[in-house]
């Protein structure tokens, strides 16, 4: 759900062809009002909208950080460790469909309706998850959250394209990334404190109220958005029946079926596995540029590397707090704080790659980023050994975060460099779609491996079940997850020499 966000691989603001193409807006005869092209993003013309957007992004970021901290406690309380990965992949899978839906809806009717519908769905999903009495209901709530989150971030991109002139768009996009830094730093502490003092449910139930103020601040500015050339008409049926929406829906359903089959290794699982492949593969092939899966030179390899980076990071990161809580007995707060350094160094890596003198080495920076990520992931399971300090996880994740900052930000720059102006939007959408598909696919793979190696049998009460009781030990399940994700990251590094297109 990474306009270079400093935490997860998954881009927090995935878009569609139109939303990410300022050139398309200009071509449509809808540049931002020239009178508003004065001052910066905090000037009088844009101040309220900027504060509102950054506040909404910060709330979404805080939710993402808080979930990682509270999830181990929530899963154990609901006796749902076996569905642990589903709680993450449900969000990513639903957001995959929501991206396409929000893009089509915004094209036809503007961004306000999908923005507010997305916020409503996001809040409703939080309430469902926070009030869940079973892990199945919790996973369903996460799916509703994903629908809302996917719609919100796409609509925000449309708002940026319509409200800010060309010269201010880099600044507001940088502000998107900066909006993740504070949640990354304070999120684990706040979420961990809520979890330990009031219970994990309040991590979910308290967030909806936080989004009301930023909405009120930016609503007047949203109503003044310049209008663009009207898109094709149509009601809900035409929007939902759009080809891109249907392909995204097919890919999302296919991913769910494959993960279900992978976590139920029996003969009857062959049917959902076959159905999942039949839905997932054609959908992915048609949503991404031709040549992506054979690492075609240039643009296809840039898109492929994004999916590998996103999936490797999130597939590993989702299991780090669970490992630290169940295998090393850390509190949710300390487990969540182990990820904080990665967020800070992500921002640092993004800054480093932006230096002009490093421009000739952009492809190498991306490869270096993947190597650093692989090194971080392969180091994390050392914490399964009692003789190794748990602080090694925090150290490793600062290295991995720096690598992601180099890779993700460089990938966005390289993609625009390789795109003709009239293709910048559609190619950017493919990059974001690869990001989301990487999350869905590799979180699912992690969940399958975790269950296959016995992770689903972790006691519901965890290591603190009783005084003097030893923690439930399932090191092989965690080691399998991290080993697989390290291989994925190394595969991304192997794509480095395919990033530069052949010279004519």
Rounded distance between C-alpha atoms, residue 71 and residue 319, angstroms: 10
CA atoms within 13 A on the CB side of 430: 26
Rounded distance between C-alpha atoms, residue 155 and residue 137, angstroms: 27
Q: What is the pLDDT along the chain (504 residues), one digit of tens a residue?
A: 444 444 443 333 333 333 333 333 433 334 444 444 456 777 777 777 888 888 888 888 888 778 777 888 888 888 887 777 778 778 878 887 887 777 777 766 677 778 888 888 998 999 999 999 998 899 899 989 988 888 887 777 777 767 777 667 656 766 776 777 778 777 777 888 888 788 888 888 888 877 777 777 777 767 666 555 555 555 555 555 566 677 777 877 887 777 677 666 667 767 877 887 888 788 778 778 888 888 888 889 998 999 999 899 989 998 998 899 888 888 877 887 888 888 788 878 877 887 778 878 888 999 999 999 999 999 999 999 989 999 999 999 999 999 998 888 778 778 767 876 545 545 666 777 788 788 878 887 888 888 888 776 664 444 444 334 445 557 888 999 999 999 999 999 999 988 887 665
Check: CB of residue 139 under 8 Å from CB of residue 87: yes
Check: CB of residue 37 under 8 Å from CB of residue 167: yes
Beta strand spans in 194-331 (E) = none
Statement: the pTM of the whole predicted model exceeds 0.85 = no
Nearest to 43 by CA among 171, 129, 146: 171
Check: CB of residue 18 under 8 Å from CB of residue 24: yes
Rounded distance between C-alpha atoms, residue 279 and residue 360, angstroms: 41
Q: How far apart are the first and last CA of the chain?
A: 36
DSSP 3-state assignment of 95?
helix
The structure tokens listed for 253 are 């359903």
């Amino acid at each position: 759900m990474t306009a270079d966000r400093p935490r997860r691989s998954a881009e927090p603001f995935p878009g569609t062809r139109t939303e990410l193409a300022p050139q398309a807006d200009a071509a449509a005869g809808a540049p931002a009002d020239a009178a508003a092209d004065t001052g910066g993003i905090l000037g009088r013309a844009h101040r309220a909208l900027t504060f509102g957007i950054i506040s909404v992004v910060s709330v979404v970021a805080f939710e993402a950080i808080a979930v990682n901290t509270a999830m181990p406690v929530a899963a154990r309380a609901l006796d749902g460790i076996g569905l642990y990965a589903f709680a993450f992949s449900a969000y990513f899978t639903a957001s995959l469909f929501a991206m396409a839906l929000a893009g089509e809806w915004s094209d036809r009717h503007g961004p306000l309706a999908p923005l507010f519908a997305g916020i409503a769905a996001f809040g409703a999903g939080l309430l469902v998850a926070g009030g869940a009495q079973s892990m199945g209901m919790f996973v369903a709530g996460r799916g509703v959250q994903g629908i809302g989150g996917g719609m919100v971030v796409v609509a925000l991109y449309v708002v940026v394209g319509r409200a800010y002139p060309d010269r201010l768009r880099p600044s507001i996009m940088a502000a998107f990334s900066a909006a993740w830094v504070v949640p990354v730093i304070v999120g684990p502490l706040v979420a961990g404190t809520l979890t330990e003092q009031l219970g994990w449910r309040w991590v979910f139930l308290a967030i909806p109220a936080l989004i009301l103020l930023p909405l009120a601040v930016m609503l007047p500015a949203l109503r003044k958005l310049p209008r663009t050339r009207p898109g094709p008409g149509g009601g809900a049926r035409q929007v939902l029946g759009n080809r891109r929406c249907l392909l995204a829906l097919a890919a999302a359903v296919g991913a769910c079926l494959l993960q279900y089959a992978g976590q139920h290794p029996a003969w009857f699982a062959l049917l959902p596995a076959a159905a999942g492949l039949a839905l997932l593969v054609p959908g992915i092939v048609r949503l991404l540029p031709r040549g992506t899966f054979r690492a075609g030179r240039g643009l296809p390899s840039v898109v492929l590397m994004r999916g590998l980076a996103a999936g490797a990071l999130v597939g590993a990161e989702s299991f780090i707090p669970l490992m630290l809580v169940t295998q090393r007995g850390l509190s949710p707060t300390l487990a969540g704080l182990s990820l904080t350094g990665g967020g800070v160094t992500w921002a640092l890596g993004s800054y480093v790659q932006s230096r002009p003198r490093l421009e000739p080495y952009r492809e190498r920076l991306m490869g270096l980023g993947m190597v650093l990520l692989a090194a971080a992931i392969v180091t994390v399971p050392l914490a399964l050994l009692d003789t190794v300090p748990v602080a090694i996880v925090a150290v490793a994740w600062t290295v991995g975060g720096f690598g992601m900052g180099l890779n993700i930000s460089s990938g966005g720059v390289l993609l625009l460099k390789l795109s003709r102006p009239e293709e910048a939007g559609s190619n950017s959408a493919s990059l974001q779609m690869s990001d989301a598909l990487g999350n869905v696919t590799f979180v699912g793979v992690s969940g399958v491996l975790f269950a296959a190696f016995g992770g689903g049998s972790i006691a519901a009460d965890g290591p603190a079940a009783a005084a003097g009781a030893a923690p439930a030990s399932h090191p092989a399940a965690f080691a399998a997850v991290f080993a697989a994700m390290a291989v994925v990251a190394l595969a991304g590094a192997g794509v480095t020499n395919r990033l530069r297109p052949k010279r004519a």
